[in-house]
Amino acid sequence: MIEVVKQYLQMGFAHVIPLGFDHILFILSIFFLNSNLKSVLIQCSVFTLAHSVTLGLTAAGYILPNPTFIEPIIAISILVASLENLFHHKVNTWRLLIIFIFGLIHGMGFANALKDVGLPPEHFLASLLSFNVGVELAQITVIVAAYFLIAKWFGKKDYYYTKIVYPLSSLIACVALYWTVERILL
């Protein structure tokens, strides 16, 4: 059991760092709207809760998502989150709902990633929880790194939005738009 927990914890972490560039960009989009650590961690936890639900339901076979639809929607979720940073400066209640909905979609994408290795039936819950904890630890790593590399030094500056948030969010939006088109056409 300990080996299974360790293996799936590492898998969940690796699914974000270094393998989940799209996931990293989504987390950074959440981060840039409001770089207050507490706010970002709450949003990240809402996202994790949601993707845990659909990951579990998909892994258990209750939901059978079509990757042809899920993957472009994941790219669109990154696009929407990054574009929102260009028009808003604070977290609204409805953003948590949007993050939750996007988390449900991302969970189905995670399930597609787990499809090849599967979850051991005898340790289904432990491996599922371990994978999710690994994802959450990786997300927190991205958030803490972004905080100490960017927000700690520049977050209170007058130019934070114009020189950092807007350009980086625009770059993320461009990448997400490219992924959206690529995933639709493939």
CA 146, CA 140: separation in Å to the nearest integer?
10
Nearest by Cα to 69 from 179, 181, 184, 176: 184
What digits encode the pLDDT tens for the residues 57-116?
A: 988 889 888 888 999 999 999 999 999 999 987 777 888 999 999 999 998 987 777 777
H-helix segments, the chain: 2-16, 21-33, 37-59, 67-87, 93-114, 124-146, 152-154, 166-185
For helices 67-87 and 93-114, the axis angle rounded to 10 degrees is 150
Total number of domains in the chain: 1
Please give the residue range of the domain that contains residue 17: 2-185
Model pLDDT, residue 186 = 76
- Binned at pLDDT 50, 70 and 90, residue 166 comes out as very high
| DSSP secondary structure code for residue 36 in this structure | -
Hey, what amino acid is at 30? I
- Report the percent of the chain where pLDDT is more than 70: 100
What digits encode the pLDDT tens for the residues 22-41?
A: 999 999 999 998 878 888 88
